[in-house]
Amino acid sequence: MSANSKTTTDKTPRKIGYMRVSTKRQSLVMQRAALKNAGCHAIYYDRGVSGKVFPRKGLHKAFSALRSGDSLIVYKQDRLGRIVLELEKLLHDLMGRGAHLLVLSQPCDIYTAGGRFSYRLHAVLAEHESDITSERTKDGMGSRKAAGSRFGRKLKLTDEQALAAKAMLALPDMSLTKVAAVFCVSANTLKRALDRLESERV
């Protein structure tokens, strides 16, 4: 959580900010600047957490800080999440607390029929966008896998290196240990690479 130096009385409505990024490599700088410019008294966040993950620590803290009359402020609605059912729960939670929602990128008055319609429409679009991205990622992985790409831990020896090692082992006075040293790996690693090479030829 980060908070500025503003102080309020118990009855003064506050602005509670929330921000999220899906990966730890993404920056929160833009969202934080927008929320500070909007006058947030406190800002909570989740870093490296998908919008499809519920509950989230930062989001829970933001909601826990809300009182009647306060406003929850986000840069974009999809920062709250990308699952329609969960976003509907958040909507009812906000209204049950008597709190407001301010989305800086769009008008959103949840206490009007039009505002709730806009909120729900953006919820559907956010989930759809997430599903499309997921499908494209799976399709891309399938295509690369079919083309021979591997996923998971990076191999210490590629197939090409394993083939070269196999050829070296056919030379006189060459042992598994000597060839492994050439490739700066252990003898066990080289043996696994050679076994993998054989299994792929079956």
Query: What are the strands, taking DSSP E only, across the chain?
Result: 2-3, 15-21, 42-47, 71-74, 100-103
Say which residues have a Cβ less than 8 Å from residue 199's Cβ, sequence separation at least 6.
none
Alpha-carbon distance 131 to 45, whole Å? 23
**What DSSP state is assigned to residue 153?**
S
DSSP-H helix ranges across 38-112: 57-65, 84-97
Max distance between CA atoms of the chain, in angstroms, equals 88
In sequence order, what are the beta bridge partners of 43? 2, 17
199 counts as catalytic: no
Name the region of 48 (left: φ>0; alpha: ψ -120 to 50; beta: rest).
left
Annotated catalytic residue, options 2, 5, 22, 50: 22
Q: Which residue has the tokens 């509950």?
A: 55
Q: Cα 26 from chain centroid?
A: 9
Catalytic residue positions, numbered: 22
